[in-house]
């Protein structure tokens, strides 16, 4: 039997154990397989593959799409994360207000998050459609545009159109998480500030924002990771087109892996993605743990 | 005083305006989907977009529920999502509590590892996990999905709950521990009720994750009786030919209901009063 | 003390997990059958065939897995690599070539009854026959593609009948391209075909085939690209000119799939289109007001050439890695010989349910006799149809390089000759692997 002391020393590990076992088996193990694969020459012809060192990484230079997709991915991730966070925060603040019917709004705004993405993407395609899409119809009747715009077919508009859908999809999640955080800010803090004569804006800056900091870090880090890896939206909406205008590293990896069956090269791209993401996020993570 | 009331009324009006604007944009595609689900086939595409169907019909819903396997898909998704949610919440509570309350060797490493493992594109995980499930004899079971989704939900859930636990003062538990409670009792009876908003968020997140997932559901399940909603809806889209968009949109509409309904009931735990009461009590 | 309490949620979980485990099947041969059907009547046909077969062969159970078209290659590869390959799998043409190259399909030359084998149409045999002459698949339901035109718009433009050559085609398209609303933007284009996603490469390949290029050739035991041939250039240039030179096809076509183009045709945005035979049924369903105002026609011929259409069967394969090849073959032979007693086999019924063809000469005769007037050009197309390039690298090439290149060329962002040369090198580099 363990002594009380030994037990309490082990306790943090015991609490973590189920989580760690699952993560090790279901996430860490395949990631390690992936990293190992990136050092082989495994593809559909050589399913076993032999060790080739960093050859796959050197090949990245030969594929102009890679750099293009990397640039697009940074652009996509930056704008989507920023859009989701800013709009999500605004929505959370609104939902936190003490008005009648807020419960209805809180439930309704979940829809973009919970609707099956493959179907929602189809609805978006129709909305964006050049000739019969409702977006052009509305903009035309408001006099904002004169001629129909092919939102997903023009190089100038395709990426922004996809980004808009990405932001749309993520707002509810950010809003709900931040709402939960807003709800746990003790009301006394605001009351004390009011007595001190602080206005709404001041309370927001001095009470709300600092209280949201911890959660905001987590939300931003996670939405960065998810959006960086998001592939199905673009895959369904444009398949990376027109040309490579909306090609992301995630869609590129998908094509390499599941259409071209170039397993090792796809894994090399994935490893690069992992490294880039780590650079982007670990700086933040170190501050919050 | 009057000025104060007016600003208050103005503010309320502003809040409503904001909420309505947000809902309008967020629900826009969804309303279009509902509209489509009520249209007969020949009205799905019209030269001038039409919000209100000329010949509204419930045929799409009737066909979906009686002539397709949709009810099976729906039941499977509920089963998988509910169990995933329970598993993720329980496991993440312990893990998050551990990261929040204890200072132990490897703590930071574990925290970062949990984040880093989800930075790899999911498409590369499919084959290794498929192989694993095949070796465990779990192919074409819901258990394989529950294990996978439960794990995918852990990074967010653990970090989210750690963040919540961090905001809860340790004094309460400490006095409980002195009173002879075990750690687990303190966690369950004192910390978890205080973290209700976090638990609600994590539960909702896990549910939606399991509800939405497609890639692994497609790979791990094989026969019609085991398929989940997203896969079922994707299979209905087929390649080309007479795709019944009305039915698919009806299916997507119905698919939104459970999460919205669950959240309608759960959201009272987001309310401050619950935690406040516990703090005071 | 506390240990027992914390156990409770786990017990609930375990109970739930237990419930979700499926029943174990009785000990008998189970044939795993991957297919891509989604139309309710097609699903019913396969269900009926399976039930019928299981009654006659009590020792064999057929376990169906439906996979989506777009995900079928990924699904099949995952299953093979994960050690759970199906016994029978359905394939489309580009996927077929890819999996054939890795030896995924069993040789069924001797397993197919001679009578059935002889009934395969030449275009179908071209798909299921390996370069060495062995057969590794059963041709199944598949579509043909042809052109459509709006008779009302043709009359309006003073045109008679559909064009038969490329020159006539361009002239007609020019006459049909106009600004009908007078707002300064063209809203009626002479022509359109799908270029979104995988469509880009499929239609591009067909343009080259119409110009006389085989796109890829099998020579000296290996595949080589034909993209550097004058014919490939001619076909590609013709396609790009429709947008860049003549302006009869909009540059925004790159985001349109078959359904967008069909809608554009119905709404009068395209006076002619190139699309699959299944669209006939779609137009009939959705645009009753257009009845009698439209028809299909065979693709116009390039200068000095015979017309060529696109068309090919999907295929069923007995998998090399499957554990029950014998039972699998038995089922497929059953599927191609038995039926519901109306003179059609289950394989025939499957094609009929999708409004396409089963690629046997019996079925062609049946289609010629019974298919509606509007579908007859598509029946005719069967005999002049050519499959997509059968090179094992084609799928990779299409997804990684060609799709974006075709879209860029159509939008005038990349020069045709230079791009073709680059694509030629890319394709041959993939062949060299």
The DSSP code sequence of B111-134 is HHHHHHGGGS-GGGTHHHHHHHHH
- Give yes or no: residues B29 and B93 share one domain: no
| Cα atoms in the 13 Å half-sphere on the side-chain side of B223 | 15
Which segment of A179-183, B211-215, C187-191 scores lowest on mean pLDDT? Answer: A179-183
Q: Given CA atoms C254, C259, C263, C266 in this order, what sign does their dihedral have?
A: positive
Catalogue the long-range contacts made by C67-72 (C-beta closer than 8 Å, 24 or more residues apart): C67/B218, C67/B235, C67/C34, C67/C35, C67/C36, C68/B218, C68/B234, C68/B235, C68/B237, C68/B238, C68/C36, C68/C38, C69/B238, C69/B239, C69/C36, C70/B239, C71/B218, C71/B234, C72/C34, C72/C36
- The enclosing H or E element of C316 equals strand C315-318
Q: What is the CATH number of the domain that holds B72?
A: 1.10.3720.10
Mean pLDDT of the region A229-257 = 94
Distance CA C86, CA C66 (A): 12
Burial zone of A196 (CB within 10 Å; 0-12 exposed, 13-18 middle, 19+ buried): exposed
Contact between residue A128 and residue A165 where contact means Cβ atoms under 8 Å apart: no
> What's the whole-number mean pLDDT along residues A65-83?
97
Q: Which residues of B touch C68 (CB under 8 A)?
A: 218, 234-235, 237-238
H-type helices in B137-214, by residue range? 142-167, 171-178, 183-186, 192-194, 196-212
State how far the Cα of B22 lies from the Cα of A168, in Å rounded to an integer.
10
Chains in contact with B, where contact requires at least 3 CB pairs less than 8 Å apart: A, C
Q: The dihedral of CA A146, A151, A155, A159: what is its sign?
A: positive
Cβ–Cβ below 8 Å for C404 and A153: no
Alpha carbon distance B212, A113 (integer Å): 9
Closest CA to C10 of B94, B11, A213, A70: B94
The average confidence (pLDDT) of chain B is: 90
Please list the alpha-helical segments (H only) found in chain A: 4-22, 29-37, 55-59, 64-95, 102-108, 111-114, 117-128, 134-141, 155-183, 187-195, 200-203, 209-229, 232-237, 249-254, 263-288
Residue in the block written with tokens 């395209």: C270
Give the residue with greater pLDDT, B18 vs A7: B18
Residues B188 and B202: their CA atoms lie apart, in Å, by: 16
Contact between residue C223 and residue C393 where contact means Cβ atoms under 8 Å apart: yes
pLDDT per residue of chain C (433 residues) written in tens, 0 to 9:
344 444 455 555 555 555 544 444 455 899 999 999 988 899 999 999 999 999 999 999 999 999 988 899 999 999 999 999 999 999 988 899 999 999 999 999 999 999 999 999 999 999 999 989 999 999 999 999 999 999 999 999 999 899 999 999 999 999 999 999 888 899 999 999 999 999 999 999 999 999 999 999 999 999 999 999 999 999 999 999 999 999 999 999 999 999 999 999 999 999 999 999 999 999 998 899 999 999 999 999 999 999 999 999 999 999 999 999 999 999 999 999 999 999 999 999 999 998 899 999 999 999 999 999 999 999 999 999 999 999 999 999 999 999 999 999 999 999 999 999 999 999 999 999 8
Measure the CA–CA gap between B209 and C251, rounded to whole angstroms: 38
- DSSP string of C134-182, one letter each residue: -B--EE-EE-EEEEEEEHHHHHHTT--S---BHHHHHHHHHHH-B-SSS
CA distance B18 to B41: 36
How many C-beta atoms lie closer than 10 Å to residue C113's C-beta? Answer: 11
Domain co-membership, B100 together with B164: yes
Instruction: Mark whether B62 and B48 lie in a shared domain.
Output: no
- C-beta separation of C255 from C196 below 8 A: yes
Q: How far is B175 from chain C (nearest CA, A)?
A: 18
**CB within 8 A of B204, min separation 6: which ones?**
A110, A176, B259, B262, B263, B266
pLDDT band at A47 (very low <50, low <70, confident <90, very high): confident
Please list the residues that pair with C218 across neighbouring strands.
C223
Phi, psi of C285 (to 5 degrees): -70, -45
In 3-state terms, what secondary structure has residue C211? Answer: coil
DSSP C273: E
**Alpha-carbon span A144 to C179, nearest angstrom:** 20
In the block, tokens 């069909």 appear at: C262
Inter-axis angle of helices B126-135 and C72-81, nearest 10:
50
Q: What is the pLDDT of residues B119-164, one digit of tens each?
A: 999 999 999 999 999 999 999 999 999 999 999 999 999 999 998 8
Q: Is the pLDDT of residue A1 over 90?
A: no
Q: Which two tokens stand for residue B146?
A: 């529950």
Of C73, C77, C260, the CB nearest to A129: C260
Q: Which residues pair with C357 in a beta bridge?
A: C142
- Contact flag C12-B86 (C-beta cutoff 8 Å): yes
DSSP labels, B185-206? HHIIIIIHHHTHHHHHHHHHHH
Q: Which domains does chain C have, with CATH numbers?
A: 29-139+314-358 (3.40.190.10), 145-310+388-431 (3.40.190.10)
Does residue B34 sit in the same domain as residue B72? no
Q: What are the two backbone dihedrals, phi and then psi, of residue C270, each rounded to the nearest 5 degrees? A: -125, 125
Q: How many domains in chain B?
A: 2
Do B147 and B96 share a structural domain?
Answer: yes
Partner-chain residue, chosen from B146, B182, B237, that has the shortest CB–CB distance to C2: B182
Q: How far apart are CA B162 and CA B219, in angstroms?
A: 33
Say if residue B51 is in the same domain as residue B63. Answer: no
Q: Is residue B38 domain-shared with residue B144, that is, in the same domain? A: no
Interchain contact, A243 vs C101, CB within 8 Å? no
Helices B142-167 and B107-116, packing angle to 10 deg? 130
Residues 6 or more apart in contact with residue C100 via CB below 8 angstroms: C130, C136, C392
Tokens 């669950």 found at: B262
User: Binning pLDDT at 50, 70 and 90, where does residue A176 land?
Assistant: very high
DSSP-derived 3-state class of residue B58: coil
Which class for C369: exposed (0-12), middle (13-18), buried (19 or more C-beta within 10 A)? exposed
Residue B199 and residue B178 share a domain: yes
**Contacts of A97 by beta carbon, 8 Å cutoff, 6+ apart:** B12, B15
Q: Give the chain B residue whose CA is nearest to the CA of A187.
A: B272
Query: In chain A, what are the domain boundaries?
Result: 64-288
Q: Which of A70-84, A195-209, B249-263, C173-187 has the lowest mean pLDDT?
A: A195-209
pLDDT at C7: 47
- CA–CA min distance A282, chain C (Å): 32
Half-sphere exposure of B195 (CA within 13 A, CB side): 34
**What is the pLDDT confidence band of residue B273, given thresholds at 50, 70 and 90?**
very low
User: Min CA distance, A51 vs chain B (Å)?
Assistant: 18
Q: Are C190 and C173 in contact (CB under 8 A)?
A: yes
Q: Tokens representing C8?
A: 């409770």
Q: At what angle do helices A134-141 and A117-128 cross, to 10 degrees?
A: 40
| A46 Cβ contact partners less than 8 Å away, ≥ 6 residues apart | none
- Do residue C68 and residue B139 have CB atoms under 8 angstroms apart? no
Domain identity same for B84 and B68: yes
Residue B19 CA: distances (Å) to CA of A105, B9, B13, C387: 7, 15, 10, 55
Same domain, B113 and B187: yes
- φ, ψ of residue C63 to 5 degrees: the values are -105, 115
Is residue A218 over pLDDT 90?
A: no
Share of chain A above pLDDT 90, in %: 72
How many whole angstroms separate alpha carbon A188 and alpha carbon B149?
Answer: 39
Q: Report CB contact under 8 Å: C185, A256.
A: no
Q: Which residue of B has its CA nearest to C7?
A: B90
Give partners of A (≥3 CB pairs < 8 A).
B, C
Of C6, C13, C22, the CB nearest to B141: C22
Closest to A240 in 3D by CA, of B30, B248, C406, B67? C406
What is the rounded distance in angstroms from the CA atom of residue C379 to the CA atom of residue C375?
Answer: 6
Give the sign of the dihedral formed by CA A179, CA A183, CA A187, CA A192.
negative
Mutation pick from B7, B17, B18, B19 vs chain A, by most beta carbons of A within 10 Å, is B19
Average pLDDT of the residues in B16-26? 96
Q: Which domain holds residue B131?
A: 58-280
Residue numbers in C near A140 (CB within 8 A): none
Instruction: Give the mean pLDDT of B83-111.
Output: 94
Q: Are residues B118 and B76 in the same domain?
A: yes
| Same-domain pairing of B23 and B125 | no
Pairing verdict, β C294-297 and C144-150: antiparallel
Instruction: Name the closest residue on chain C to residue B124, using Cα atoms.
Output: C78
Query: Measured in Å, how far apart are chain C's first and last C-alpha atoms?
Result: 64
Q: What is the pLDDT of residue B203?
A: 95
Architecture (CATH level 2) of domain A64-288: Orthogonal Bundle (1.10)
Tell me, what DSSP letter sits at residue B43? G
pLDDT for res B190: 87
- Mean pLDDT within A156-184: 94
The answer for B 161-180 residues in CB contact with C (under 8 A) is: none
Query: Cα separation of B258 and B101, whole Å?
Result: 35
A127, A128, A132, A135: CA torsion to nearest 10? 70
Instruction: From chain A, pick out residues whose CB is under 8 angstroms from the CB of B116.
Output: 274, 278, 282
Chain B, window 80-109: residues with a beta carbon less than 8 angstroms from a chain A beta carbon: 91-92, 94-95, 97-99, 101-102, 104, 107-108
Strand pairing category for C357-358 and C222-225: unpaired
């Amino acid at each position: 039997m363990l002594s009380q002391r030994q037990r309490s020393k082990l306790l943090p590990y015991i609490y973590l154990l189920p989580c760690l076992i699952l993560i090790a088996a279901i996430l860490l193990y395949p990631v390690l397989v992936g990293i190992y694969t990136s050092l082989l020459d495994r593809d559909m012809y050589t399913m076993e593959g032999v060790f080739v060192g960093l050859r796959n990484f050197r090949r990245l230079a030969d594929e102009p799409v890679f750099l293009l997709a990397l640039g697009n991915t940074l652009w996509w991730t930056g704008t989507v994360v920023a859009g989701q966070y800013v709009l999500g925060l605004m929505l959370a603040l609104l939902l936190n207000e003490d008005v009648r019917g807020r419960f209805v709004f809180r439930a309704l705004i979940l829809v973009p998050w919970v609707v099956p993405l493959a179907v929602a993407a189809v609805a978006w395609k129709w909305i964006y459609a050049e000739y019969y899409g409702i977006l052009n119809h509305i903009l035309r009747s408001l006099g904002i545009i004169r001629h129909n715009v092919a939102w997903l077919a023009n190089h100038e508009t395709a990426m922004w159109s996809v980004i808009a859908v990405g932001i749309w999809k993520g707002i509810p999640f950010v809003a709900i998480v931040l709402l939960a955080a807003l709800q746990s800010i003790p009301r006394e803090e605001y009351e004390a500030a009011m007595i001190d004569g602080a206005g709404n804006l001041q309370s927001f800056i001095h009470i709300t924002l600092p209280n949201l900091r911890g959660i905001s870090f987590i939300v931003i880090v996670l939405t960065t990771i998810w959006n960086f890896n998001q592939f199905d939206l673009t895959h369904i909406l444009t398949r990376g087109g027109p040309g490579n205008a909306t090609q992301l590293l995630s869609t590129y990896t998908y094509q390499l892996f599941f259409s071209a069956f170039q397993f090792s090269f796809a894994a090399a791209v994935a490893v690069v993605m992992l490294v880039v993401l780590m650079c982007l996020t670990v700086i933040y993570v170190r501050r919050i743990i | 005083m009057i000025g104060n009331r007016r600003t208050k009324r103005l503010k309320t009006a502003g809040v409503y305006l904001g909420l309505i604007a947000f809902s309008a944009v967020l629900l826009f595609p969804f309303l279009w989907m509902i509209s489509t689900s009520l249209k007969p086939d020949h009205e799905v595409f019209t030269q001038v977009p039409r919000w209100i169907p000329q010949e509204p019909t419930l045929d799409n819903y009737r066909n979906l529920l009686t002539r397709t396997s949709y009810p099976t898909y729906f039941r499977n998704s509920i089963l998988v999502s509910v169990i995933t949610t329970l598993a993720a919440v329980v496991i993440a509570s312990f893990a998050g509590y551990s990261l929040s309350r204890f200072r132990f060797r490897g703590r930071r490493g574990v925290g970062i590892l949990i984040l880093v493992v989800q930075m790899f594109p999911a498409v590369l995980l499919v084959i290794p996990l498929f192989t694993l499930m095949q070796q465990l004899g779990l192919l074409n079971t819901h258990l394989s999905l529950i294990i996978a989704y439960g794990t995918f939900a852990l990074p967010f859930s653990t970090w989210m709950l750690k963040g919540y636990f961090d905001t809860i003062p340790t004094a309460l538990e400490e006095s409980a521990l002195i009173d002879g409670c075990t750690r687990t009792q303190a966690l369950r009876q004192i910390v978890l009720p205080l973290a209700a908003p976090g638990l609600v968020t994590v539960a909702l997140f896990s549910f939606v994750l399991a509800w939405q997932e497609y890639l692994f559901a497609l790979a791990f399940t094989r026969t019609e009786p085991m398929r989940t909603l997203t896969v079922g809806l994707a299979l209905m889209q087929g390649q080309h030919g007479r795709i019944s968009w009305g039915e698919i949109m009806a299916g997507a509409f119905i698919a939104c209901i459970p999460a919205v309904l669950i959240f309608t009931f759960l959201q009272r735990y987001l309310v401050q009063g619950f935690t406040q009461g516990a703090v005071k009590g | 003390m506390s240990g027992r309490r914390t156990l409770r949620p786990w017990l609930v979980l375990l109970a739930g997990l237990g419930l979700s485990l499926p029943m174990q099947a009785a000990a008998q041969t189970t044939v795993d059958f991957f297919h891509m059907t989604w139309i309710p009547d097609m699903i019913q046909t396969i269900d009926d065939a399976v039930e019928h077969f299981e009654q006659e062969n009590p020792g064999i159970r057929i376990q169906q897995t439906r996979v989506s078209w777009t995900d079928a290659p990924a699904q099949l590869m995952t299953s093979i690599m994960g050690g759970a390959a199906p016994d029978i799998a359905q394939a489309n043409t580009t996927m077929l070539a890819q999996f054939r190259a890795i030896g995924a399909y069993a040789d069924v030359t001797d397993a197919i009854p001679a009578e059935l084998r002889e009934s395969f149409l030449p275009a179908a045999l071209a798909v299921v026959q390996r370069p060495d002459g062995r057969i590794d698949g059963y041709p199944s339901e598949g579509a043909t593609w042809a052109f459509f035109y709006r008779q009302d718009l043709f009359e309006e433009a003073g045109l008679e009948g559909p064009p038969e050559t490329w020159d006539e085609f361009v002239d007609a398209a020019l006459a049909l391209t106009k600004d009908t609303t007078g707002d300064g933007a063209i809203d009626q284009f002479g022509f359109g075909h799908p270029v979104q996603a995988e469509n880009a490469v499929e239609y591009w390949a067909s343009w080259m085939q119409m110009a006389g290029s085989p796109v890829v050739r099998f020579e000296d035991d290996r595949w080589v690209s034909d993209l550097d041939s004058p014919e490939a250039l001619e076909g590609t240039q013709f396609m790009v000119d429709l947008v860049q030179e003549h302006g009869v096809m909009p540059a925004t076509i790159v985001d349109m799939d078959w359904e967008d183009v069909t809608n554009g045709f119905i709404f009068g945005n395209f006076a002619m289109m190139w699309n699959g035979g299944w669209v006939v049924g779609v137009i009939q369903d959705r645009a009753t007001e257009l009845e009698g105002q439209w028809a299909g026609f065979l693709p116009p011929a390039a200068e000095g050439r015979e017309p060529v259409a696109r068309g090919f069967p999907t295929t069923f394969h007995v998998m090399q890695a499957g554990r029950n090849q014998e039972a699998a073959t038995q089922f497929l032979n059953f599927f191609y010989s038995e039926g519901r007693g109306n003179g059609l086999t289950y394989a025939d019924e499957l094609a009929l349910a999708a409004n396409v063809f089963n690629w046997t000469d019996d079925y062609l005769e049946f289609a010629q006799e019974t298919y509606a007037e509007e579908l007859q050009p598509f029946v005719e197309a069967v005999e002049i149809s050519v499959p997509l390039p059968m090179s094992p690298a084609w799928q990779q090439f299409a997804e990684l390089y060609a799709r974006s290149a075709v879209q860029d060329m159509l939008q005038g962002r990349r020069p045709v000759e230079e791009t073709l040369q680059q694509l030629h090198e890319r394709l041959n580099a993939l062949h060299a692997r």
